[in-house]
Amino acid sequence: MPETPQATEAGLRSAEEERRLAMLAADVQRLEDLLDASLLYVHSSGVGDTRESYLHKLSSAALRYQSLVFADPRFTLVGNTGLVHAQMRATVLRGGGLHPVASSYLAVWHRGASGWRLHAVQATPLQVA
């Protein structure tokens, strides 16, 4: 029996929450499972990372999330592609200092035989309140 749209969306919601928790914990092994090899992650600063460069920043402690919230997510399914529109609020440790981050982002996921994999993130800065 085919999966219902509700079950498919629940799987995408779960993958996005797993990503958030793995980012917060700097769990590179879990992120390796979630991030596709073709990942392009464009931060709200405009800096772009590949899967390898992003994982290196986390594993080397060049980037650490002290707090991380994904707020007001909206999930859209198009076949085996899932789009997540949300806001991210974080405090990150980089360059020896703590920095507040507030952004709106679009995450593009694809569901294949091994489950949901993140292919792209594009973030836009928001005013930090």
pLDDT number for residue 127:
78
Residue 119: give the domain boundaries: 5-125
Q: Is pLDDT of 65 > 80?
A: yes
Confidence grade of residue 4 (pLDDT, cut at 50, 70, 90): confident
pLDDT number for residue 3:
80
CATH of the domain at 63: 3.10.450.50
DSSP the chain: -PPPHHHHHHHHHHHHHHHHHHHHHT-HHHHHHHEEEEEEEE-TTS-EEEHHHHHHHHHTTSSEEEEEEEEEEEEEEETTEEEEEEEEEEEEEETTEEEEEEEEEEEEEEEETTEEEEEEEEEEE----
**What is the model's pTM?**
0.93
Distance CA 47, CA 68 (A): 19
Q: Is pLDDT of 41 > 80?
A: yes
The predicted model gives 70-80 an average pLDDT of: 96
pLDDT number for residue 95:
87
Q: Is pLDDT of 2 > 90?
A: no
Structural domains in the chain (count): 1
Confidence grade of residue 115 (pLDDT, cut at 50, 70, 90): very high
The predicted model gives 34-51 an average pLDDT of: 97
Residue 122: other Cβ atoms inside 10 A: 16
pLDDT number for residue 69:
98
